[in-house]
Structure 1
Amino acid sequence: MKEKRNLGILIILLLCSLSYAQVSKSEKLLATILTEVRAVNKERAFFLVDSIYKNEPDVHVKIHALFIHAYLYHDEFDIPTSLQFAFQAIDLAEKNKSYKWLSRLYGFAGAEYSRLGLFNEALQYFDKIEAVIPKIADEHDRNFSYFYYHHLLSAYYYEQKNYNEALQSIQRAESYIAKIGEALIHYNHYMCSVEQNKGINYLELKQYDKAKKAYQKGYEYISKEENTEEFLALGYIYAGLARLDALEQNSANAEQILAAYHKALHIANVNDNRDLKEICDDYLRAYYESIGDWENYSLYNKAYLKERQEKEEFRAKTVNELLAKQQLYQAKIVDKNKKYLVVIVSFLLVLLVAPGIYFIVKRKRKQPNSTGEGTSTALVEKLALGKESELAQFFIGVSWYAEPVKESEQAIIRALTHFEVEKGFLDSTVTIDTLAEAWQTTVFEISQVLKKHKQVEFKVYLTQWRLFESVKIMRFEREYRDYKISHLAEVVGFGSHSSFSIEFKKSIGVNPSFFIQYLEEIEKK
């Protein structure tokens, strides 16, 4: 089964190229390929987009074609190839200062990374959007780009379960679409998307009245359009309204609730959308549990767990593939640089002979190791051979700094010490907000104590403690080496296999599986 983006990105990507009244024939054809040809003949869609890219002289149309190409691979859920075309388009857009397309492409790349849980990488691209939007000359394009940017941010925050921040981004998106108004092509689709996003965030926050109002408003917008029976937004709205009826136990009977759920499931299957299907399975298992229908509960619970597992496995596989492609790309750059270096050295040898050789050797000695292999190898060796009492020094924020302690800081320091001793960081749901509430203090005060006495931000502090714990159990509790990396990640508090692997590689220089293999080889020797 192919996996596709949730509504927050899908509806925007499908329609953003149709949002302008004045477009060239090639751009109209690209829009037609995306909305019509793609649905019936994917191979022909690829062929036509490639043909336009190769034969169209207008560089902006070429950028558009590369963007559509990236989306077609996104549609196949081949994210590494999708990003490859997106980066090619970004390079072309940056060279030609095509700020309108840059804002879209940065958003596309950020959304792909966000979808995989690579939030740091996603944020890097989202930050770039804000810098290019003011450079867009046309006011209509500029307002639409701001709308697009905040709409993407809402999906980014939703993925991280930061629902209040997601709603704030939706409000900002609304303010910009209001400046364009109903002159925007497919205005009702966009407004339905906005209301649906509101609904799903309010539902997570248990603000049921606001959620219902948003879903109903979204339904009103989409009902003004024709042929929307299989529109993805409608599936989310059906599922949301059914969930609200089930939770509120209002006048809606079981027949109406189940009819809405099955309409949502039908739309999920037609669109081959795992996100919506997972939501429907989750809501249905909760519904059947609430009425004591254990047979159907078991059916949908299995479906939900299976969907979750397949998504996580797919995500981990895709992240690993992305990392492998990045390493291959970096290796090609290093190889290319080496070839250039040979040419330069040869040229200098001819011109300078001995003085030239002396200069090159002297310069090379001053250059740091660009790969960082020596540092990584040394750290891995220290972590694999050092005493348990020595390991803490290699993780930022694990040890306390000898700073004077104010009386106002003592309670927080005691709470943090207890948190570390009791290994509260192993709880994947813990946040600085939950700790502030539990300790009856503020996020700011905890942050200040960490900065002063640990010299670290809370997110890094949490990550480093989890990595420290993972190294300890791999070193000193032999059975953990036989665990799957995904289970090991869960044990030490990470939300996914991919986030654990990425943070481990970033801090230690190797993947967790490599570290385990290294430990095994040392023991054999």
Structure 2
Amino acid sequence: MRFFKLVFFLTIFIPFNLFAQKDSLETKTYKELRTLIGGFEKQEISFELINYYRQKARRERNIEQQFAAKSLFIEASIWDRNFDIAQDSLQPLRSFSSQHELASQTVSSLYQIGLAYFYQGLLGKALDIYNEALVLTEKINDNKIQHKLLLQIGYIRSSIGDYTEALNIYNKSLDLLDKSDFEAIELEKAKAKSFYYLSLTFSDLKQRDSASYYIDKALKLTQKERDSCRMKYFLRSKANIQLLNDELYKAEDNLKKAFKLCQPSSKGDTLVFYKDLGEVYLAKKEYKKAQTYIQAAIDIYQVKEGEEGFMDDYYKLLAKAYKHTGDIEKSNFYLEKYINTVAEFSKIKDTVNQSLKLQEVEDFKNELSSIKEEKNLKQTYLNYLFLGASIIIILLLSILLRFYRNKKKNEEKFEALLLKIENTNESERITDTKDQVLEEKSSNDIPEETRKNILEGLKKLEEKEYFLRQDCNSYNVARKINTNTSYLSKVVNSHFGKNFNTYINDLRINYAIVRLKNDVIFRSYSIQSIAEEVGYKSADSFSKYFKLNTGLNPSFYIKEIKNLA
């Protein structure tokens, strides 16, 4: 990751060629300057031109273009991976917007800034920016940008595994179009995009009929407008669905047709296209072709450190391709890279079922190990049988020993937890997690009265047990206590020493611990029902946070509580 001292760079070392071009730049409009600056994801970032743009806007006292320059600088900083500088520049942008009442421009800029964070893999930051922009769109009643924001928010929710919420958001985007003032052509484009995102989510859910239904609707609308590059993305999605249905030749034809319609516009576009084609060839057992395309995709793209978490599918496919072509060394290399991406992947998509990932890794390792043994070792059937039996016995003994150790540890943890419950007052919390890394370390910039109102509001919501609702999130809580998510986050961080999500999880788990101990009927519920009762959508999420706070699985805790009765 590259970090530049941008302020020093911009104010001291402005390149000579900018002065040489000054006369020609002065004749250009702001639109022409923006064209020169170009798309940050495709070329070297022109901080010099952005600085010139800002100076021109100041000289001409053009408020809207001064705002645009600030927004461009933030976007460029994100694309250049200077996230601290970008974050520090956001509040001045908001203040400038508020001072000059630039609500419409702010929404558009926040969308672009969120997009920049999104493409850098910072999904949490992107989501915060999108939600902030969404609140503003409701004030200025801009349906067009609101539709784009909903699709981005839905895509993030889908990418972290929250498919139900993603589908709800996409359907909301379609409902919005029915009430919008879009022109006929714009309306068809917007609908096609909503159908495309719906298809992607159904494809992730392996609901192939629904995925095909929506991508066909998107393609039908796009054929009318004859947008070849938009058609390219839809055809690729169609090919992925055909791959799921083992329609391999149709998938290959659609991918090649997509390439002819509109060639990849960037390295990232090439990465996805080559990977899709490589996956088809892998399914067709044309392993050499698959290996060539997927390896070319990674070589061309040159994956950066912060992007490793998104590369798991690529490394897994490449490991398989090399395995089938007999290059065990390279297969092992990419398998190792795939294993390393699992941890990064789980940080980005925190609701993904980690156990399935790890199991998939183990299965692949065992398969590869078997191939290596068949290739390199010539042992008799009896030796294999003896070795296998020995391993099984050792594993069984190991599992048995681990079981008894874990059982004893869990019983000790339960006793300690029970003692803590008995010695804890009503005003105290049984578990009080502290986060080592806080999103906002200080709330000094918040007026004391505002800070006090936020804490009082949180206390009232605690008393009303609002945290038990599944829609309890920072956005809804902030709205209920008449503040914004930024202030809410800072106050929670500084007062409680934890991030907002940790704060809510602590409240839920404390509630669950006490109620399970005291309520016989509640103990008879299924884990899924208990999870829903205390605000979680899934039993997995509830169990994860319960164990994180207590060291115990909820099922073990319930069983031990029942034994006391």
TM range (shorter): 0.5 to 0.7
Mapped to 2, the partners of 1:333 and 1:176 lie a distance apart of: 50
Q: 1:277 to 1:110 in 2, by over 3 A?
A: same
Q: 1:437-452 counterparts in 2 under 5 A? A: none
**Matched residue SS, 2:220:** helix
What is the aligned counterpart of 2:272 among 224, 229, 236?
A: 236
Mapped to 2, the partners of 1:276 and 1:285 lie a distance apart of: 16
How far is 1:208 from its partner? 0.7
Q: 1:414-453 counterparts in 2 under 5 A? A: none
Matched-pair contact (CA < 8 Å) for 1:239–1:264: yes
Mapped to 2, the partners of 1:236 and 1:374 lie a distance apart of: 42
Mapped to 2, the partners of 1:498 and 1:14 lie a distance apart of: 37
Matched residue, 1:194: 234
- Deviation string 1:87-137 (CA, Å, 9 cap, x unpaired) is 221111112211111111122222222221223443443332122112221
How many residue pairs get aligned? The number is 365
Matched-pair contact (CA < 8 Å) for 2:71–2:113: no
Matched residue, 2:500: none
Matched residue, 2:12: none
Q: Structure 2 counterpart of 1:286, which letter?
A: K
How far is 1:221 from its partner? 2.1
What is the aligned counterpart of 1:245 among 266, 281, 295?
A: 281
What TM-score do the two structures reach when normalised by structure 2?
0.52
What is the aligned counterpart of 2:186 among 138, 141, 147?
A: 141
Confirm or deny that 1:394 pairs with 2:522.
no
Mapped to 2, the partners of 1:370 and 1:276 lie a distance apart of: 35
Mapped to 2, the partners of 1:371 and 1:26 lie a distance apart of: 42
Q: Structure 1 counterpart of 2:157, which letter?
A: Y
Q: 1:309-458 counterparts in 2 under 5 A? A: 309-316=343-350, 336=453, 369-371=465-467, 379-381=512-514, 383-384=516-517, 393-395=524-526
Q: 1:153 to 1:268 in 2, by over 3 A?
A: farther
Mapped to 2, the partners of 1:192 and 1:31 lie a distance apart of: 30
Q: 1:274 to 1:141 in 2, by over 3 A?
A: farther
Confirm or deny that 1:278 pairs with 2:312.
yes
- Deviation string 1:264-287 (CA, Å, 9 cap, x unpaired) is 112443576547632221222222
Q: Percentage identity across aligned positions?
A: 14
Q: Structure 2 counterpart of 1:154, which letter?
A: S
Matched residue, 1:482: none
Matched residue, 2:498: none
How far is 1:377 from its partner? 5.5
Q: 1:34 to 1:201 in 2, by over 3 A?
A: farther
Mapped to 2, the partners of 1:257 and 1:392 lie a distance apart of: 53
Q: Structure 2 counterpart of 1:291, which letter?
A: T
Mapped to 2, the partners of 1:270 and 1:75 lie a distance apart of: 13
Matched residue, 1:413: none
Matched residue, 2:258: 218
Q: 1:159 to 1:130 in 2, by over 3 A?
A: same
What TM-score do the two structures reach when normalised by structure 1?
0.56
Q: Structure 1 counterpart of 2:276, which letter?
A: G
Q: 1:163 to 1:340 in 2, by over 3 A?
A: closer
Matched-pair contact (CA < 8 Å) for 1:154–1:165: yes
List gaps (5 residues or longer) in structure 1. 3-12, 16-23, 343-363, 397-462, 469-496
Matched-pair contact (CA < 8 Å) for 1:46–1:69: no
Q: Structure 2 counterpart of 1:336, which letter?
A: N
Matched-pair contact (CA < 8 Å) for 2:290–2:321: no
Mapped to 1, the partners of 2:297 and 2:453 lie a distance apart of: 52
Moved more, 375-384 or 172-181: 375-384
Matched residue, 1:259: 292
The list of structure 1 runs, each at least 4 consecutive aligned residues, that deviate by more than 4 angstroms after superposition, is 24-53, 55-58, 270-276, 317-321, 332-335, 337-342, 367-379, 384-387, 497-501, 517-520
- Deviation string 1:38-89 (CA, Å, 9 cap, x unpaired) is 6458578778887776356443222111212222333443333322222221
Q: Structure 2 counterpart of 1:219, which letter?
A: F
